[in-house]
Amino acid sequence: MKILTATVAAALAVAGQDAGALADRVASGAGGDAERTGVEYHGIDGQLDVAGVQTPSAEIRIDGVLDDEAWADAPILTGFTQFDPVEGVPATQRTVARVLVTEDAVYFGVEAYDDLPGGVRATLGDRDSFGFSDDYVRFIVDTFDDRRRGYVIMVNPLGVQQDGLWVVGGGGRRGRMGPPIDWNPDFVWDSEGKVFDWGYSVEVKLPLKSIKFRDQELQDWGLQVERRIARNGYSESWAPITANVANRMEQFGSLRDLRDLDPGLFLEVNPVQTLSHQSAWSDDLGGLERGGVDGDFGFNVTYGITSNLTLDGTYNPDFSQVEADAGQIAVNERFALYLREKRPFFLEGTEIFQLPQQLVYTRSIVDPVGGAKIQGKIGNFNAGFLNAVDDVAHPDGSGETANPIVNIFRLRRDLGATSNLGMVYTDRSYSGDRFNRVAGIDGRFQLRQRYTLTVLAAGSRTAEGSEARESGSLVSARFARTGRNLQFEANMLDVSDDFIARSGFIRRTGVSQLRSQASYNFRGRPGDLVERWGPSLEMEGFWDRDAFWRRGWAEERRIRMGGSLSLRNNVTLWGNYTRSWYQFGRADYDGLFAVAADGQRRPFAADPAFFEGLNSGTLFIWVNPFDKVRSNVRVTRSETPLFDFITDTPVDVANSWSGNASLNLFPTTNLSIDVSVNHTSLFRQRDGSLYSRATIPRLTGQYQFSRALFLRTIVEYGSQDRGVLMTPDGGLPVSWCRGDSCLALDGSGVNDFAVETLLSYEPTPGTVFFVGYSRAMEDMQAFRFRDLRPEAEGVFMKLSYRFRG
């Protein structure tokens, strides 16, 4: 106890705070740990190998208070250090964690002290809702002890759950923003938490049936415990973390000598019943045409073949989304918009299908009739196989329904301590003479701890009939250095015109891309006005693929200089300045014509200098020092090309203002309100006239009656207008022509107004009852709300139960 008291005092001294009051409380045993007799493991002293965690049984009631007798002799994990924003200093607040492993579950208990009365942030929300708003404790359990994949179990001070998978080399935003966590999976586990005047405590029970682990008599598991203090943005961990090591899992501690772990028979059956009543606008009726009540039944089955291999099956799966995809601005978009996967069957086990480029995109399976999936780890091999039968319109344009069969196979082998080598194969077949197949190999190699090399090579074969067959290729590579101060990376991507991945998501083909990025961080001390700041530099070029291999000029080039600034009290600023060049050849504009008032047309001729030296700047501010209010704002002012959406070439230049802002309000523990707006305006640089404007405000209000029961309402308005593309010299309309047939690149406009309400009860993942109402309307004039025409209306209900054996 003397060592713990000294550690707390030292941590508070680093932050420039008075440690006396808290040290007295610690010495007196506040939090109920004064009589604990378990062995202590101090992370700050490198005591990371934890023994004696296993016990035949433990009578622990998951109520958020560590007063059960079983905790008395449990190993104690303490001596936390900070890793963000300042690395390697003692934690500013004391954290004491305990862990036990029984014959059927893993138990975690944490007492998180806080020297500021009322300083703990905690809201009662639904699952996976608190990651950026609340205090939390995070457990990462590497059950295969391979330093590549771990279960992430997160809980806030009120016991609200968030979980996912830590996947080295994947997850998150490709690992660039935050830790590499895939937040999609949901596991079944119990938790509870309570807030006290000295801080908060949480208890967690993670059943062995909910996780995979090796099938052997004696094994070790990797373990990390992290804590985030929301009011100041500090992140702390039991096992010390340094960014000088690319793979954070290499720095985890261990649970030693676990014996005879057995999840027993694992069988889950999840029947699902849905009901819906839909109405749609009818021009004949001049109003909504009411439909009947549609019912649908399906079920999912999961069987644990072994402790590390699982078989999933589904029939007529329910893929109803709780809410619609958030609106995205698409008035000057050149490429397809990406939509996140939200469907439960596809979310489980997604980590095995992650690749350096997205050759597997399960939302390409639009409306599956049924499917099966097997995945797991055997020895050094991770394997996954997905089969589904889709129900979509036939691609021949006949309007008939087709049932393509989708097969996706993935195999990855561990190499050395943290490297791996893998392969992937996808096949989407309509019939013997209409298919798309992709095969690829990839690898991730870690060199000298802080350097990583990631490579992928893939080829596609596509047939649209017995006569038309195409082959294409894709190659990518990324070399990166991680570090406490200096980070950099270099990327290369080469995609041929004929590369097609119908089961994936590849934005651009026929291009070669080079990109490099470097940044440096200067770090202060906890409590300094500036806790971290640093500059960054990014350079990027896109080539027409043939021109790249002929050593020609890049069609698109940009250089971006930026920086970040992290201030005391959880305020962060990012900013950058970008200069861009676009250079397209005459052949790229084939088919584009300027059309005069008398109907005469002339080939569109672009002045290359017109698209060179375009400037843009962005400022982003994140403000999170207050208990009840959080906000962020991004503003961008730029000179941007206006692209022809048929030939994907720049036609004109516009001055653009764009930005988004969000305000998150927490009036009470149970109520949260999110207000956001996304806006873009494009004005022709030639004469200042408006080319396009888009504004999407969104309001979400949610009241949480309990952790399982909530009522949510979403209101979203989407106003998007686009004008006619014109020549920059004479302001003539631009058309795309083939022979005597021309297509005018006319403008478009839409003003959508939608309201969604959902009442949901979900005590555990897979067991849920919800009823919802949605109404979509069209506003005849933007934001007038005087002439709203209903487009569609629906009432929907879902009932499912997860039976677990």
pLDDT score for 16: 37
Tokens 């010495």 sit on residue: 27
- Classified as helix, coil or strand, 8 is helix
When computed from its CA atoms, the radius of gyration of the chain, rounded to whole angstroms, is: 28
Q: Return the pLDDT at 108.
A: 98
How far, in Å, CA of 766 to CA of 798, rounded?
Answer: 11
* pLDDT at residue 716 is higher than 80: yes
Q: Is the pLDDT of residue 737 over 90?
A: no
Burial 239-272 (b: 16+ CB within 10 A, else e): bbbbbebbbbbebbbbbeebeebebeebebebeb
Instruction: Out of 444-448, 472-476, 724-728, give the one with best mean pLDDT.
Output: 472-476
pLDDT at 322: 43
Measured between alpha carbons, how far is 668 from 702 in angstroms, rounded to an integer? 11
Sequence-ordered list of residues with C-beta below 8 angstroms from that of 776, at least 6 positions apart, any chain: 752, 753, 754, 790, 791, 792, 793
Evaluate whether 344 touches 272 at the Cβ level (below 8 Å): no
Q: Where would I find the beta strands (DSSP E) of 685-787?
A: 690-704, 709-722, 734-738, 741-744, 748-764, 767-779
Tell whether the model's pLDDT for residue 237 goes beyond 70.
yes
Paired strand residues for 424: 410, 440
Mean pLDDT, residues 578-582 taken together: 95
Confidence of residue 324 (pLDDT cuts 50, 70, 90): very low
* Maximum average pLDDT range among 274-288, 323-337, 553-567: 553-567
Confidence category of residue 336, pLDDT binned at 50, 70, 90? low
H or E stretch at 12: helix 2-14
In the predicted structure, residue 303 carries a pLDDT above the cut 70: yes
Residue 264 confidence (pLDDT) above 70: yes
Which residue is associated with the tokens 């035949």?
56
783-802 mean pLDDT: 90
Q: What mean pLDDT, rounded, does the chain reach? A: 87
Closest CA relative to residue 21, chosen from 36, 33, 5, 32: 5
Query: What pLDDT is stored for residue 36 in this prediction?
Result: 61
364-368, 425-429, 669-673, 759-763: the lowest-pLDDT one: 364-368
pLDDT tens, position by position, 21-40:
333 333 333 454 445 678 99
pLDDT on residue 320: 52
**Confidence band for 782, pLDDT divided at 50, 70 and 90:** confident
Map residue 611 onto helix, strand or coil: helix
> Residue 5 — φ and ψ, nearest 5°?
-60, -40
What mean pLDDT is predicted for residues 575-581? 96
Percent of the chain with pLDDT over 90: 61
Give the per-residue pLDDT at 556. 92
Please tell me the predicted confidence (pLDDT) of residue 249. 94
CA distance 59 to 11: 35
Question: What is the predicted pLDDT for the residue at 323?
Answer: 46
CB 640 within 8 A of CB 654: yes
pLDDT at 538 over 60: yes
Three-state secondary structure of 502-570: CCCCCCCCCEEEEEEEEEECEECCCCCCEEEEEEEEEEEEEEEHHHHHCCCCCCEEEEEEEEEEEECCC
Contacts (Cβ under 8 Å, ≥6 apart) of 431: none
CA dihedral 175, 177, 181, 182 (to 10 degrees): -90
> What are the tokens at 117?
């009365």
Amino acid, res. 360: V
- How far, in whole angstroms, is CA 155 from its chain's centroid? 18
- What was the pLDDT predicted at 136? 97
* DSSP states of 351-390: GGG--SS----GGGS-S-SEEEEEEEEETTEEEEEEEEE-
Please state, as a whole number, how many other Cβ atoms lie within 10 Å of the Cβ of residue 10.
14
Report the share of the chain in percent with pLDDT over 70.
91
Residues 79-105 pLDDT 10s: 999 998 889 999 999 999 999 999 999
pLDDT(111) > 60: yes
Q: CA distances (Å), 157 to each of 67, 133, 136, in order?
A: 17, 12, 6
Q: Which amino acid is at 625?
A: P
- Sign of the alpha-carbon torsion through 139, 140, 144, 146: negative
Cα–Cα dist 162/112, whole Å: 18
**What would the mean pLDDT of 656-681 be, rounded to a whole number?**
95
Give the pLDDT of residue 15: 37
Residue with tokens 């002290």: 113
Mean pLDDT value of segment 772-795: 90
* Calpha distance 554→543 (Å, rounded): 4
pLDDT band with cut points at 50, 70 and 90 for residue 648: confident
3-state secondary structure 151-204: EEEEECCCCCEEEEEEECCCCCCCCCCCCCEECCCCCCCEEEEEEECCEEEEEE
Beta bridge partners of 101: 54, 106
Instruction: Give the rounded distance of the alpha carbon of 312 from its chain centre.
Output: 24
CA diameter of the chain: 94
* Token code pair at residue 423: 């392969």
Least confident of 4-8, 231-235, 607-611, 742-746: 4-8
CA-based angle 454:461:503, to the nearest 5?
Answer: 65
Q: Give the bridge partners for 407, in sequence order.
A: 387, 427
The reported pLDDT for the residue numbered 594 is 86
pLDDT mean over 741-752: 80
Task: Give pLDDT tens digits for 48-77.
Answer: 999 999 998 889 999 999 999 999 999 999
CB 277 within 8 A of CB 291: yes
What is the pLDDT, as a whole number, of residue 338? 59
Q: Which helix (H) or strand (E) is 121 found in, with range?
A: none
Count of beta carbons in the 10 Å neighbourhood of residue 417: 12
8 A C-beta contact, residue 113 and residue 31: yes
Output the six-digit token pair for 636.
């961008």
Say which amino acid occupies 189: W
pLDDT at 19: 35
d(CA 405, CA 431): 9
